[in-house]
């Protein structure tokens, strides 16, 4: 809840309304997210109930992050890592 509180505070200081946020994690990508998380040792419980809970949590803060991202001219990243992206340590070689 800290992320939501921070986003709300930053938006209220600038009197910016929450915006409808594009779905950054469509159902077609949830399975991929599960695989990525499992690859680093985090296993999500299976079932529609868990996915619904994740969606409810996301709906609580993503509209505020979307407004903040628009204000800062910084697009929100995808939930999934970009296969082509290099970590900082890889770019420093």
pLDDT higher at 46 or 16 = 46
pLDDT computed for residue 84 by the predictor: 75
Q: What is the pTM of this model?
A: 0.69
Angle at the Cα of 84 (from 83 to 90), degrees rounded to 5?
Answer: 110
CA neighbor of 75 nearest in space, from 19, 28, 26, 33: 19
Domain annotation covers residue 64: yes
Q: Please count the structural domains in the chain.
A: 1
pLDDT computed for residue 93 by the predictor: 62
Domain annotation covers residue 47: yes
Structural domain harbouring 30: 2-76
Domain annotation covers residue 34: yes
Domain annotation covers residue 93: no
What does each C-alpha distance from 4 to 8, 18, 24, 25, 59 come to in angstroms? 6, 11, 16, 18, 10
pLDDT computed for residue 3 by the predictor: 67
Angle at the Cα of 31 (from 26 to 37), degrees rounded to 5?
Answer: 110
Domain annotation covers residue 87: no
- Residues 44-89 pLDDT 10s: 888 889 889 999 988 888 888 888 888 889 888 888 887 777 777 7
- Residues 25-36 pLDDT 10s: 988 899 999 998
**How far is the C-alpha of 40 from the C-alpha of 10, rounded, in Å?**
32
| 61 and 19 Cβ atoms separated by less than 8 Å | no
């Amino acid at each position: 809840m800290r992320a939501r509180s921070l986003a709300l505070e930053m938006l209220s200081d600038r009197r910016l309304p929450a915006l409808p946020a594009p779905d950054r994690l469509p159902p077609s990508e949830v399975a991929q997210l599960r695989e990525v998380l499992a690859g680093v040792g985090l296993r999500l419980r299976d079932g529609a109930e868990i996915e619904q809970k994740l969606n409810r949590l996301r709906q609580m803060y993503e509209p505020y992050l979307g407004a903040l991202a628009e204000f800062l001219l910084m697009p929100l990243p995808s939930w999934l890592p970009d296969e082509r992206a290099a970590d900082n340590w890889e770019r420093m070689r």
